[in-house]
């Protein structure tokens, strides 16, 4: 065989692990070595994943390489560091070419292979199959080895003490599982902005997936829409909406190894941007000049108002007031809400219209008129509406510029409000009018009505001084008097109304004063005298019937009242009265007609008249004969003759069928005569109903004539009886007929020793002695009488002899619960025996019980004393009985009379119990079994109990003592259970050591395994805790604990737990961790745009960890950022023209407590200066003043040519100056401006000022003289 290993790979796989198979052929140069097929190289094992190795085979290179030990041999393998074998065992493998008989046992630290073949020549290949390994630490690798020396086992390889001590039997390596390094932090943003969440993880083959929980569980985020970076370490969400508030995010890191690692969650809060609302109280944003306008903003907590772009108010006030707006001015507002989010409103431009100048004139030049004169008022200028007011009250409001008033009164003030087309109102001056009055009557024009035929008196008056009066009256239809008149203020005349209706009489008055007169009517109503138009003699009525009468009158509106005096014989008794109608029942109690008078008063329009209405009331006829005639006897004739006090009365009668009267119904007129038979045992009343008629009136009330019909009396008591010899015969005769009386007689009877007897009473009470042995009949002859009727009947009595007991009446006593046996006997032949036992207090079974001849029943005495039980025997023969008592004594079973439920005790206390019994001489024995939850073992004794009981549970435990009681030689077979409840010592089952954060509410709910527990607690003052001492009487604590220090403090709550009368004290210790706060400044110095902001957070609280986030800030070009360290080091670039405040939200965590604080830094804007136009001007001319603009708080400038008249440098704007250029050539100066914003400098800009020289002639100004008429030639020159 060549010097190569024979290698056989048997691959296996595991779904949860990774097995990398590498085919390897190992070569050894030394012959005779044992061939080793190592386990398949197993790389990148994950922690905790069990991996099955491929088969490990060890083959000899030549026969006999494996030594023969003659016994089982062992071969040991050990895993490399940070790996372990999976404990288990393997069996034998055998094939045709390879004889392998092995077994192995795998432990975590080694695997021992047992070779069960002592003959080396038979051993060719050792195969270890199914061995499993797992990694216990990441980033490890190594070889599976066989230890050197004895540790490697007893298998011997030829030529070696131990084979393979340095040989690898398989290479394995492990990799790291995913682990979160940093988690995302919660973020707060404004709607419309973006947010980034960042996290990281370590491990092999890490990939990221962000997950989002919108309230129904986490799901994976995918890129698109708002989301980017869903599978990176940073998730960015743009265009945030408030609907995303409360969304929770986490990072899931997956790697080569499972399981994935999940970060802590971060919660997103998206604050709504305010809705910047702005409104004006000016309708349609149009006002008149001088109107005060209130602008109202909404949607935030701070409002900055701008007028034409200039800030005019910046405060928490939501209103801005302006009374001096000019046409077209625009107001806007920037709203900031509590979350710091801002929004700007649209502008409101106000139209301001001019106010018209109003004037008012009157058609009456001097404004003095008489009352009732019509005056026209005219308003100017031309306008769309004129509102005329009189005495401040609007009287006309329309497009008409004139107002006419014919109802002016003295001193009325008129004014007009003129409204222009723009709705602006101008107010005119006032016009006051003097109005002289017209005289009028001040006396009434409608004097009180008068009645016909009375005097009408009237005196006219006027409030106008010096007024005179003239009146006239025309003839009036229905008034008897003719026309009349007078030049006087007074009227006095009689007016007679000849109709049945009121008549109005009109007096025409003319009142004059100061040449003014007024005509007025005075109208008086003359009412007629009202009278009845209904009859005064209505038809007669019968007594007891209703008299109905309705009064009427031809005079409209007439009312009626009436009264009736008391009239003898008439009911109801008067006086009575009423209005309009009469409806009363009149009863005549006499036997003759009676006239009833009603006095009517008819009233109308204040006038009245009295008239009488008379009605006759006829009487109702009544029986004057007896209604209760004398009773008759059954079967005799009843005769009756009716009579009445009312003359001419006729009679009719009826009789219905009467129960107990054998005759049928009957009827007739006048008298009664008929036989009546009573078929009952009691008198029967027979009623005859009479109806009486007289004077056309039938009395509605009938009369009942009742006659009693008495029955024939008979005995209703028994007519036969039997009794025993020597017993008294007691008999009471009775009859169904009430009031019956009785008499009786008894003759001498043979065999009866009594002499003859008699009586006049219904009762018989005598002893009849039968001196024979046979029954004897004795006859009593009775006569029964009732209501004058008699009847004879016999009562027959049989007298029999009496039998008695011959057996004992006093049997031996028995014990409670045993059977009493007794057999009764009698010397009387054919006698029968029966017995009964009544209920006996304290004896069960409860009676009554009964039987015949013999007794056999178990008797139980439930009391503590002996009880005599009586059996009542009845011995019977020939219908006669004798009663005798058999008495037996039943001894009681002794019982406990002391309580079976003694008061509960607390665990660990002494239970003392003394038994008692109401049975004298009772003795006691007790036993107690082992009770679950009671630590004491079983116990027993006699008499009293006295032992400590300890409850080891949280619930009450019932302990039962079983008592046996004996007395008077008898033991009660029923034991008594005395049960005592051992209540547990109540203890807290809730935690005794908890922690909380400073200034948060510490909530604690005490619980106990013991039911029904109550709690109380107290807390002393603790140094460093700001709250005062406190206490409570419940199991709950809910109080704020504030740690004033920088280190955790322990606060002790002392609880007292009570249940079932048992108490226990325990302490609950609360660690109050301090709130971590920044000790570093939260307002670092401002920085310039583009500079690096460096900040290191510190805290006086130990062990603080820091995280911070910075949201994207409007005006800052850098995206939002965050960190999990105390330091910030980032560049901030301000893209706006104003300082921008950047907020870093820090979260400090220590001892499980977190605190959020903001660190704000101001980023100054990049200073900018706007381009300035170049200037070119002539020497001596004034320059245009230069006002710098841009983004800067200061402008520094330099001038490179001061000779133009401008200084070499300066700060701020450059005023106009006189330019200078004394040369003949243009001079250009360059001015360079450097913008500065709160110490930050920006890019410079330059402009030029060019000063052109003043051109002058350089040619002579005094050329040579010329002669007249010659040509003057001159060429001007200039140096410019």
**pLDDT at res. 539:** 87
Give the residue, 1124 or 774, on which the prediction is more confident. Answer: 1124
> pLDDT tens for residues 651-674?
999 999 999 899 999 999 989 999
Number of helices followed by number of strands (H, E) in the chain: 0, 113
**pLDDT at res. 124:** 61
CB 309 within 8 A of CB 331: no
**pLDDT at res. 155:** 65
**pLDDT at res. 457:** 94
> pLDDT tens for residues 1-57?
333 333 333 333 332 222 222 222 222 222 233 334 444 556 778 877 777 877 776
84-to-176, 391, 580, 618, 1204 alpha-carbon distances in Å: 16, 113, 126, 137, 95
Mean predicted confidence (pLDDT) in 396-407? 92
Q: Which CATH number fits domain 450-527: 3.30.70, 2.60.120, 2.60.40, 1.10.405?
A: 2.60.40
Lowest mean pLDDT: which of 58-67, 381-390, 569-578, 702-711?
58-67
DSSP string of 702-738? Answer: -EEEEEEEEPPP-B-S-SEEEEETTSEEEEE--BSST
Identify the CATH class of 993-1073: mainly beta
Strands, E assignment, 358-424: 359-362, 368-370, 375-380, 385-390, 393-398, 402-405, 412-419
* pLDDT score of 213 more than 90: yes
| Residues ≥6 apart with Cβ < 8 Å to 881 | 724, 802, 803, 874, 875
DSSP for residue 121? G
Give the residue, 1037 or 69, on which the prediction is more confident. Answer: 1037
Rounded to the nearest integer, the mean pLDDT of the chain is: 85
> pLDDT tens for residues 1044-1098?
999 989 999 999 999 898 998 889 999 999 999 999 999 999 999 999 999 999 9
| Ramachandran bin of 424, using left for φ above 0, alpha for ψ from -120 to 50, beta for the remaining angles | beta
Give the residue, 405 or 647, on which the prediction is more confident. Answer: 405
**pLDDT at res. 669:** 92
**Vertex 272: Cα angle to 270 and 274 (nearest 5):** 155
Q: Given the DSSP bridges, would you call strands 266-271 and 187-190 parallel, antiparallel or unpaired?
A: parallel
Structural fold of domain 541-618 = Immunoglobulin-like (2.60.40)
Rounded to whole angstroms, the Cα distance separating 990 from 1037 reads 13
Mean predicted confidence (pLDDT) in 478-489? 92
Mean predicted confidence (pLDDT) in 687-715? 89
Backbone phi, psi, residue 233, to 5°: -75, -10
**pLDDT at res. 870:** 92
Mean predicted confidence (pLDDT) in 1220-1230? 91
What CATH homologous superfamily does 1168-1252 map to?
A: Immunoglobulins (2.60.40.10)
* pLDDT score of 90 more than 70: no
Rounded to whole angstroms, the Cα distance separating 770 from 773 reads 8
Sheet architecture: strand order including 1105-1110:
1087-1088, 1153-1164, 1140-1150, 1105-1110, 1121-1123
**pLDDT at res. 100:** 45
What CATH homologous superfamily does 720-800 map to?
A: Immunoglobulins (2.60.40.10)
| Ramachandran bin of 203, using left for φ above 0, alpha for ψ from -120 to 50, beta for the remaining angles | left
**pLDDT at res. 1056:** 92
**pLDDT at res. 26:** 28
**pLDDT at res. 293:** 93
**pLDDT at res. 865:** 82
Does the N-terminal peptide bond of residue 381 adopt cis geometry, omega within 30 degrees of 0?
yes
> pLDDT tens for residues 826-847?
877 788 899 999 998 989 999 8
Rounded to whole angstroms, the Cα distance separating 837 from 725 reads 26
Mean predicted confidence (pLDDT) in 112-137? 65
Are 450-527 and 814-891 in the same CATH fold? yes
> pLDDT tens for residues 765-817?
998 888 876 778 899 999 888 887 788 889 999 888 788 788 888 898 888 88
Rounded to whole angstroms, the Cα distance separating 501 from 480 reads 14
Residues across the chain: 1280
Give 61's pLDDT tier (boundaries 50, 70, 90).
low
Strands, E assignment, 801-853: 814-815, 818-823, 832-837, 843-844, 849-851
CATH code at 35-174: 2.60.40
Give the residue, 980 or 726, on which the prediction is more confident. Answer: 980
DSSP for residue 441? B
| Residues ≥6 apart with Cβ < 8 Å to 123 | 60, 66, 99, 115, 117
Rounded to whole angstroms, the Cα distance separating 1132 from 1134 reads 7
Give the residue, 57 or 1246, on which the prediction is more confident. Answer: 1246
**pLDDT at res. 132:** 79
- Token pair recorded at residue 1072: 């109050």
Rounded to whole angstroms, the Cα distance separating 619 from 596 reads 13
**Vertex 1132: Cα angle to 1129 and 1135 (nearest 5):** 175
The pLDDT > 90 percentage for the chain reads 46
- In which residue are the tokens 């928490």 written? 316
Rounded to whole angstroms, the Cα distance separating 1161 from 1176 reads 46
- Token pair recorded at residue 712: 């024939």
Give 105's pLDDT tier (boundaries 50, 70, 90).
low
> pLDDT tens for residues 990-1034?
888 888 999 999 999 999 989 889 999 999 999 999 999 999 999
> pLDDT tens for residues 273-309?
898 899 999 888 889 888 999 999 998 889 999 999 8
Lowest mean pLDDT: which of 146-155, 560-569, 1182-1191?
146-155
**pLDDT at res. 648:** 84
* pLDDT score of 856 more than 80: yes
SS3 556: coil
Mean predicted confidence (pLDDT) in 94-111? 51
What ranges do the domains of the chain cover? 35-174, 181-271, 277-353, 359-436, 450-527, 541-618, 632-710, 720-800, 814-891, 905-983, 993-1073, 1087-1164, 1168-1252
Structural fold of domain 1087-1164 = Immunoglobulin-like (2.60.40)
**pLDDT at res. 515:** 66
* pLDDT score of 505 more than 90: yes
**pLDDT at res. 722:** 84
Give 726's pLDDT tier (boundaries 50, 70, 90).
confident
In terms of CATH architecture, what is 359-436? Answer: Sandwich (2.60)
What's the half-sphere exposure (Cβ side, CA atoms, 13 Å) at 740?
Answer: 28
**pLDDT at res. 166:** 52
Q: Which CATH number fits domain 814-891: 3.15.10, 2.60.40, 3.60.60, 3.40.50?
A: 2.60.40
* pLDDT score of 431 more than 60: yes
Rounded to whole angstroms, the Cα distance separating 59 from 6 reads 7
Q: Given the DSSP bridges, would you call strands 541-542 and 607-618 parallel, antiparallel or unpaired?
A: parallel
In terms of CATH architecture, what is 181-271? Answer: Sandwich (2.60)
Identify the helix (H) or strand (E) that includes residue 526: strand 516-527
Lowest mean pLDDT: which of 31-45, 338-352, 636-650?
31-45
Rounded to whole angstroms, the Cα distance separating 678 from 665 reads 14
**pLDDT at res. 396:** 94
Structural fold of domain 277-353 = Immunoglobulin-like (2.60.40)
> pLDDT tens for residues 1132-1174?
999 998 999 999 999 998 888 989 999 999 999 999 999 899 9
* pLDDT score of 219 more than 90: yes
């Amino acid at each position: 065989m060549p010097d190569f290993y024979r290698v056989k790979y048997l691959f296996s796989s595991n779904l949860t692990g990774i097995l990398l198979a590498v085919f390897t052929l190992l070569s050894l140069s030394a012959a005779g070595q044992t061939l080793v097929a190592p386990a398949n190289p197993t790389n990148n094992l994950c922690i905790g994943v069990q991996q099955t190795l491929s088969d490990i085979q060890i083959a000899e290179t030549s026969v006999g390489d494996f030594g023969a030990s003659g016994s089982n041999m062992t071969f040991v393998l050990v895993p490399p560091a940070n790996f372990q074998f999976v404990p288990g065992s393997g069996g034998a493998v055998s094939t045709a070419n390879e004889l392998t008989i092995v077994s192995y046992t795998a432990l975590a630290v080694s695997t021992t292979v047992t070779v069960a073949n002592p003959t080396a020549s038979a051993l060719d290949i050792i195969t270890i199959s199914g061995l499993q390994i797992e990694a216990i630490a990441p980033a490890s690798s190594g070889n599976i080895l066989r230890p050197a020396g004895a540790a490697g086992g007893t298998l011997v390889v030829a030529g070696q003490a131990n084979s393979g001590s340095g040989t690898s039997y398989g290479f394995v390596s492990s990799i790291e599982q995913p682990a979160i390094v940093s988690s995302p932090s919660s973020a707060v943003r404004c709607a419309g902005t973006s947010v980034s969440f960042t996290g990281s993880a370590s491990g092999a083959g890490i990939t990221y997936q962000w997950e989002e929980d919108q309230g129904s569980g986490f799901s994976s985020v995918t890129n698109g829409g708002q989301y980017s970076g869903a599978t990176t370490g940073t998730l960015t969400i743009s265009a945030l909406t408030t609907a995303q508030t409360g969304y929770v995010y986490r990072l899931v890191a997956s790697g080569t190894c499972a399981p994935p690692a999940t970060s802590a969650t971060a919660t997103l809060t998206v604050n709504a941007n305010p809705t910047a609302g702005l409104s004006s109280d000016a309708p349609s944003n149009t006002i008149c000049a001088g109107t005060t306008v209130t602008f109202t903003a909404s949607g935030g907590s701070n409002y900055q108002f701008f007028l034409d772009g200039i800030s005019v108010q910046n405060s928490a006030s939501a209103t801005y007031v302006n009374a001096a707006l000019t046409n077209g001015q625009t107001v806007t507002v920037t709203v900031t809400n509590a979350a710091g989010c801002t929004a700007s409103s649209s502008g409101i431009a106000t139209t301001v219209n001019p106010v018209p100048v109003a004037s008012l004139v009157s058609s009456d030049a001097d404004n003095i008129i008489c009352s009732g004169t019509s005056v026209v008022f005219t308003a100017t200028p031309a306008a769309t509406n004129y509102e005329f007011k009189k005495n401040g009250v609007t009287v006309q409001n329309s497009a008409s510029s004139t107002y006419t008033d014919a109802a002016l009164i003295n001193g009325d003030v008129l004014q007009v409000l003129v409204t222009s087309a723009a709705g602006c109102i101008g107010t005119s001056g006032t016009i006051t009018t003097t109005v002289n009055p017209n005289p009028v009557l001040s006396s009434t024009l409608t004097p009180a009505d008068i009645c016909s035929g009375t005097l009408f008196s009237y005196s006219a008056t006027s409030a106008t001084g010096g007024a005179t009066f003239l009146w006239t009256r025309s003839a009036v239809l229905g008034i008897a008097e003719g026309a009349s008149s007078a030049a006087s203020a007074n009227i006095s005349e009689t007016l007679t109304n000849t109709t049945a209706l009121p008549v109005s009489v009109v007096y025409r008055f003319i009142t004059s004063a100061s040449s003014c007169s007024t005509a007025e009517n005075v109208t008086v109503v003359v009412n007629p005298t009202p009278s009845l138009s209904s009859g005064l003699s209505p038809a007669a009525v019968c007594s007891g019937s209703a008299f109905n009468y309705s009064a009427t009158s031809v005079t409209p509106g007439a009312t009626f009242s009436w009264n009736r005096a008391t009239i003898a014989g008439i009911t109801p008794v008067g006086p009575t009265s009423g209005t309009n109608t009469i409806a009363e029942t009149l009863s005549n109690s006499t036997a003759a007609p009676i006239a009833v008078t009603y006095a009517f008063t008819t009233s109308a329009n204040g006038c009245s008249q009295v008239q009488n209405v008379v009605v006759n009331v006829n009487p109702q006829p009544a029986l004057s004969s007896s209604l209760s005639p004398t009773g008759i006897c059954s079967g005799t004739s009843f005769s009756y003759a009716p009579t009445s006090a009312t003359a001419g009365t006729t009679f009719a009668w009826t009789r219905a069928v009467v129960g107990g009267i054998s005759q049928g119904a009957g009827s007739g007129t006048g008298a009664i005569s008929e036989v009546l038979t009573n078929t009952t045992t009691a008198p029967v009343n027979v009623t005859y109903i009479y109806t009486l008629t007289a004077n056309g009136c039938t009395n509605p009330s009938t009369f009942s004539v009742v006659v009693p019909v008495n029955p024939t009396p008979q005995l209703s008591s028994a007519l036969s009886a039997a009794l025993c010899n020597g017993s008294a015969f007691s008999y009471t005769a009775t009859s169904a007929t009430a009031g019956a009386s009785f008499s009786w007689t008894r003759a001498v009877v043979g065999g009866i020793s009594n002499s003859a007897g008699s009586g006049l009473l219904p009762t018989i009470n005598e002893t009849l002695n039968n001196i024979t042995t046979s029954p004897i009949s004795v006859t009593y002859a009775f006569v029964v009488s009732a209501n004058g009727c008699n009847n004879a009947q016999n009562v027959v009595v049989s007298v029999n002899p009496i039998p008695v007991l011959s057996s004992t009446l006093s049997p031996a006593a028995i014990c409670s619960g045993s059977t009493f046996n007794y057999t009764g006997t009698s010397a009387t032949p054919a006698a029968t025996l029966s017995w009964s036992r009544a209920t006996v207090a304290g004896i069960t079974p409860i009676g009554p019980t009964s039987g015949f001849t013999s007794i056999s029943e178990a008797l139980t005495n439930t009391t503590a004393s002996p009880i005599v039980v009586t059996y009542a025997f009845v011995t019977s023969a020939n219908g006669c009985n004798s009663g005798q008592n058999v008495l037996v004594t039943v001894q009681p079973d002794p019982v406990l009379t002391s309580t079976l439920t003694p008061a509960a005790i607390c665990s660990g206390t002494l239970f003392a119990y003394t038994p008692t019994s109401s049975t004298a001489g009772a003795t006691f024995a007790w036993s107690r079994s082992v009770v679950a939850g009671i630590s004491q073992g079983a116990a027993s004794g006699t008499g009293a109990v006295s032992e400590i009981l300890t409850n080891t549970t949280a619930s009450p435990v019932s302990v039962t003592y079983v008592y046996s009681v004996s007395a008077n030689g008898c033991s009660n077979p029923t034991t008594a259970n005395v049960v005592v409840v051992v209540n547990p010592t109540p203890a807290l089952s809730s935690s005794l050591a908890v922690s909380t954060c400073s200034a948060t509410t510490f909530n604690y709910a005490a619980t106990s395994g013991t039911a029904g527990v109550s709690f109380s607690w107290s807390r002393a003052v603790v140094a460093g805790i700001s709250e005062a001492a406190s206490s409570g009487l419940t199991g709950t604590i809910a109080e704020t604990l504030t740690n004033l220090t920088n280190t955790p403090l322990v606060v002790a709550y002392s609880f007292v737990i009570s249940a079932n009368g048992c108490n226990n004290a325990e302490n609950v210790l609360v660690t109050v961790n301090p709130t971590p706060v920044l000790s570093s400044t939260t307002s670092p110095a401002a920085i310039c745009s583009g500079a690096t902001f460096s900040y290191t957070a510190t805290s006086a609280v130990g062990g603080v960890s820091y995280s911070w986030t910075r949201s994207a800030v409007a005006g800052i070009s850098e995206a939002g950022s965050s960190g999990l360290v105390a330091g910030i080091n980032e560049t901030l670039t301000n893209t706006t023209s104003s300082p921008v405040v950047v907020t870093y939200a820090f979260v400090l965590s220590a001892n499980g407590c977190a605190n959020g604080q903001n660190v704000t830094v101001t980023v100054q804007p990049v200073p900018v200066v706007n381009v300035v136009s170049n200037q070119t001007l002539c020497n001596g001319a004034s320059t245009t003043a230069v006002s710098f603009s841009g983004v800067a708080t200061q402008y520094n400038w330099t001038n490179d040519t001061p000779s133009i008249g401008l200084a070499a440098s300066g700060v701020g704007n450059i005023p106009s100056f006189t330019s200078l250029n004394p040369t003949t050539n243009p001079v250009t100066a360059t001015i360079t401006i450097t913008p500065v914003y709160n110490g930050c400098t920006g890019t410079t800009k330059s402009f030029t000022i060019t000063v052109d020289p003043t051109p002058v002639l350089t040619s002579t100004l005094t050329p040579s003289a010329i002669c007249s008429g010659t040509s003057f030639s001159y060429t001007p020159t200039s140096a410019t």
